[in-house]
Amino acid sequence: MSQLTVYRDDAPGTPVLQTNDAAEMAATLKAIGVRFERWESPVQLSPDDSAETILAAYRPFLDALMGETGAGSADVIKLTPDNPNAPALRQKFLSEHRHSEDEVRFFVHGSGNFVMHVDGKVWDAFCTQGDLISVPANTPHWFDGGEKPFFTALRVFTNPDGWVAQFTGDAISQRFPVTAGA
């Protein structure tokens, strides 16, 4: 179940808000420009399906989403606990960073935490299968798929180079362990 937990950025152990209500999550995240939606999809896929199969199955949704965002491409990212690069990828995503474009993800399978650092607060959005999240360009954030990551997500890009991070150098992610799932 999806969850949003919000903290003051100087109080990692004390949430000021915690909710599992998708409508409340969407309204709360909208205040910082983050789009959050629960999609009820008729598409039924296996975690073993190829990226090509997943992209083809979600093509109508992707075309509509890319038309809204002006994006030019989409791909699939999968991470499972048996991936030998999982620990290194987790560390890379755990470092606070920004992007010059919105970071758009739709969770096809599994889960992960998108954590934003905005307006003196830390906004931890635990996303699960069926969740769409779009973090606005230049928003400091990090992602945690957990020690045993399991997720398949669609990624949407406007930048032809794909995922390009500008790391902030702030160690805030080390002070804020994720609250759900990961």
Asked if residue 179 belongs to a domain, the reply is: no
Which of helix, strand or coil describes residue 30? helix
Asked if residue 145 belongs to a domain, the reply is: yes
Domain count for the chain, please give it: 1
Return the CATH number at 68.
2.60.120.10
How confident is the model at residue 54, as a pLDDT? 95
How confident is the model at residue 73, as a pLDDT? 81
Q: Dihedrals φ, ψ of 24, to 5°?
A: -70, -40
Rounded average pLDDT over 19-39: 97
Asked if residue 19 belongs to a domain, the reply is: yes
Domain span including residue 123 = 3-162
Model confidence pLDDT, tens digit, residues 40-99 = 877 889 999 999 999 999 988 888 888 777 667 888 999 999 999 988 888 888 889 999
Contacts of 27 (CB under 8 A, 6+ apart): none
Residue type, 107: F
Asked if residue 171 belongs to a domain, the reply is: no
DSSP string over 4-18: EEEEETT-TT-EEEE
Higher-pLDDT residue of 142 and 91 is 142
Whole-model pTM: value is 0.91
Rounded average pLDDT over 20-25: 97
Asked if residue 52 belongs to a domain, the reply is: yes
Asked if residue 169 belongs to a domain, the reply is: no
User: What CA–CA distance (Å, rounded) separates 18 from 26?
Assistant: 13
How confident is the model at residue 180, as a pLDDT? 61
Asked if residue 95 belongs to a domain, the reply is: yes
CA angle 119, 120, 122 (to 5 degrees): 95
Asked if residue 49 belongs to a domain, the reply is: yes
Q: In whole angstroms, what separates CA 117 from the centre of its chain?
A: 14
- Burial (CB count within 10 angstroms: exposed 0-12, middle 13-18, buried 19+), residue 170: middle
